[in-house]
Amino acid sequence: MTLQSLQRGDPTRFAALLAAPPAARAPLATLYAFNLEIARAPWVTKEPMIAEMRLQWWRDALEDAARGTVRAHEVMAPLADLMAAHDLPLETLDRMVEARRWDIYSDAFADQTAFDDYLMDTGGGLMWLSAKALGAGAASEPALRDFGWAAALAAYLQAVSALVERGRIPLLDGRDDGITALATRGLARLAAARKGPIDPAARPAMLAGWQAQALLTMAARDPARVGDGTLQLSEFSRRGRLLWQAFTHRI
- CATH number reported for the structural domain that contains residue 184 in this entry: 1.10.600.10
Residue 107 has pLDDT above 90, yes or no: yes
Flag whether 199 is in a domain.
yes
Flag whether 4 is in a domain.
no
Q: Which amino acid is at 218?
A: M
Flag whether 89 is in a domain.
yes
Flag whether 52 is in a domain.
yes
Distances (CA, A) of 137 to 26, 31, 179, 198, 246: 19, 18, 34, 9, 21
Q: What is the pLDDT of residue 248?
A: 63
Residue 247 has pLDDT above 90, yes or no: no
Termini Cα distance of the chain:
28
In terms of Cα–Cα distance, which of 34, 14, 39, 28 is closest to 75? 34
CB 196 within 8 A of CB 139: no
Q: What is the pLDDT of residue 235?
A: 75
- Tell me what percent of the chain is helix, strand and coil, each rounded to the nearest 5: 75, 0, 25
Mean pLDDT over all residues of the chain?
94
The model carries a pTM of 0.94
d(CA 78, CA 30): 7
Residue 242 has pLDDT above 80, yes or no: no
Flag whether 5 is in a domain.
no
> Average pLDDT for residues 19-24, to the nearest whole number?
95
Residue 215 has pLDDT above 80, yes or no: yes
Residue 9 has pLDDT above 80, yes or no: yes
In terms of Cα–Cα distance, which of 16, 122, 34 is closest to 76? 34
Q: What is the pLDDT of residue 239?
A: 66
Flag whether 1 is in a domain.
no
Q: What is the pLDDT of residue 227?
A: 95
Number of domains observed in the structure of the chain: 1
Domain that holds residue 43: 10-248
Percent of the chain with pLDDT over 70: 94
CA quadruple 18, 24, 30, 35: dihedral positive or negative?
Answer: negative
CA quadruple 153, 158, 160, 163: dihedral positive or negative?
Answer: negative
> Average pLDDT for residues 85-105, to the nearest whole number?
97
Flag whether 69 is in a domain.
yes
Q: Binning pLDDT at 50, 70 and 90, where does residue 179 land? A: very high
d(CA 176, CA 150): 19
Flag whether 91 is in a domain.
yes
Residue 64 has pLDDT above 80, yes or no: yes
CB 227 within 8 A of CB 184: no
Does residue 222 come out as left (phi exceeding 0), alpha (psi in the -120 to 50 range) or beta? beta
Distances (CA, A) of 82 to 34, 89, 112: 12, 11, 33
Residue 236 has pLDDT above 70, yes or no: no
Q: Binning pLDDT at 50, 70 and 90, where does residue 62 land? A: very high
